[in-house]
Chains A and B, each alone.
Chain A
Amino acid sequence: MSRFEVYSPEGLRMDGRRWNELRRFETSINTHSHAADGSSYLEQGNNKIITLVKGPTEPTLRSQLDQTKATLQISVNLTKFSKFERSKTTGSNKTERRILEIQTALVRTFEKNLMLNLYPRTIIDIEIHVLQQDGGVLGSLINGITMACIDAGIAMYDYVSGISIGLYDTTPLLDVNSLEEAAMSCVTLGVMGKSEKLSLLQVEDKIPLDRLETVLAIGIAGAHRIRDLMDESLRNHAQKRITNASKR
């Protein structure tokens, strides 16, 4: 157990949120227009994530070439300075099992959502740099990728929004931070748009089966809220671009 009071009897969490409140969510797209075809910068609470989408382009290796659809490649770079304590591992952490697992989960999520069949014989390379992490990273990664793919103009069925929910005793806590994540069991969801379809569900700890429904319910509601926030930011961005274009 954590020595902090995770959830006070008054219904407040460590950072002052209620059980059903999201963290600050800010995102922008087209942040690295020179470096990639699509890019996004996302801040969810203290998570800071840069996502770069390169492609669809011709693959460099023959093995990456698929005649029927685009190959999706995702590389996650959790920088050494991203946590409060600098990670002590010498050398690269790219081959760490946890990272490889995250990458596979992301590829599986987005393979179903991006219309890869429209881009045969190409590769879409997604590069993610996590500059700072504070819990619920996988969910934030999903949001970042969604935004960057939209910026890259890659056809997709709908937004995928990611969120982590913790279960404290009987109360589900929406959008957990790292302290909460360490103190209780958590579920990460990837939700398709405004639907109740899940494209990702990750549970790494035990969760009572009879509580799962409430956890999923609040998670889906939170994911819908995130989808709206992403949509709003995209529309603002588009509005700005249109006014800039008409000024010329």
Chain B
Amino acid sequence: MTLSVAEKSYLYDSLASIPSIRPDGRQQHQFRPIEIYTDFLPSSNGSSRIIASDGSECIVSVKAKVVDHTIDDDLLQIEIEISGERDDSLITESCTSLFNKLLKNIDMKKLQLTKKYSFKLFIDVLVISSNSNPVSLISFGIYSSLNCTLLPKLVSNFDDLEVEELPMFHDYDLVKLEVDSPLVFVLGIVQNNIFIDPAANESEVANNGLMISWINGRTIAPMRTFALNDTNTKGFSPKLMQEGIKLVEKYAPDIANALQNI
């Protein structure tokens, strides 16, 4: 998005004022409306399509495969593809690296099938279009697709160390995958104000961005700062980080709840 100098200055001043005024009249903690559709890919175990109100869109597919976890203990594999970016571009690679670290917070024990075998989840993310930083959208997409992931029901024995057999599944019964999935919140910082989910125009003038991850009531790593634009980047008061964490801890449960109820 390209804004004129006058527009930027107006926007900056209104965001920096106390109380801060956001261009679309949102509260400090308020998200833009998002649309989520789940389970629309029958060939995946779980899938979701998430669309932000500015047209940013992200599709997530979760596929499961049975692996021997004594050989392959990496039970989650995530691949992110951002349309219009090469696979080795800075943004794609750093997003993938970030989510690899983030998904370490998922409890892998939930994927265990028998004493020998586990499900391995392949999470594929396709960002079709994004107008502001896509990490928050991606994490919501992953959350809602894991939330609707159905896995085949095991009918053979759990203990298969003694008997050498492959796990057997029920012909049609499926079990819901119950895992907590992390959420990432992007916060924009303008002078001494901090606000959740900066839109494209707010990102354009923000002094800095803060990324806070959260899972089931806990604020977790990774936590990062990152510039939302390349012209206005500045330092900010250390207090704002604590304020950001507080803000996320207060409102994240509501968001997780909303995503859970889809």
Contacts and interface: CB of A to CB of B under 8 A. Distances in A.
Interface of A: 32-36, 46, 48, 50, 52, 77, 79-84, 86, 91-92, 94, 127, 129, 131-132
Nearest to B52: A34
A35 B42 CA distance: 26
Interface size class of B (residues with CB under 8 A): 20 to 34
A81 B122 contact: yes
B57 interface: yes
Contacts of A82: 43
Nearest to A91: B87
Contacts of A79: 61, 81, 124, 126
B144 to A, nearest CB: 16
17 contacts: A32-B55, A32-B57, A34-B56, A34-B129, A48-B41, A77-B83, A79-B61, A80-B122, A80-B124, A81-B44, A81-B63, A83-B43, A92-B86, A94-B87, A129-B128, A131-B41, A132-B41
B57 A35 contact: yes
B193 to A, nearest CB: 27
Contacts of B63: 81, 86
A84 B54 CA distance: 32
Given A35-B128, A81-B63, A81-B124, A46 B83 contact: no
Contacts of A84: 43
A83 B79 CA distance: 16
Interface of B: 40-44, 54-57, 59, 61, 63, 65, 79, 81, 83-84, 86-87, 122, 124, 126, 128-129, 131
B254 to A, nearest CB: 26
Contact of A81 (B43, B86, B129, B131): B43
Given A52-B128, A80-B79, 10 more contacts: A35-B128, A46-B43, A79-B124, A84-B43, A86-B65, A94-B87, A129-B59, A129-B83, A131-B59, A131-B61
Q: Is the contact region of chain A dominated by helix, strand, or loop, or is it mixed?
A: loop
Contacts of A46: 42-43
B44 A32 contact: no
Contacts of A52: 128-129
A35 B61 contact: no
Nearest to A54: B84
B100 to A, nearest CB: 15
Contacts of A129: 59, 83, 126, 128
Given A91-B87, A131-B59, A34 B54 contact: yes
A34 B131 CA distance: 10
A81 B62 CA distance: 8
Contacts of A94: 87
A211 B98 CA distance: 56
A84 B81 CA distance: 19
Contacts of B81: 77, 79
Nearest to A81: B61
B199 to A, nearest CB: 13
B95 to A, nearest CB: 15
Given A79-B61, A92-B87, A132 B55 contact: no
Contact of B55 (A35, A77, A86, A92): A35
A130 B105 CA distance: 31
Nearest to A50: B128
B125 to A, nearest CB: 10
A132 B129 contact: no
Per CB-CB distance, the 3 closest pairs between chain A and chain B, nearest first, are A34-B55, A35-B129, A81-B61
B48 to A, nearest CB: 12
A10 to B, nearest CB: 26
A46 B42 CA distance: 9
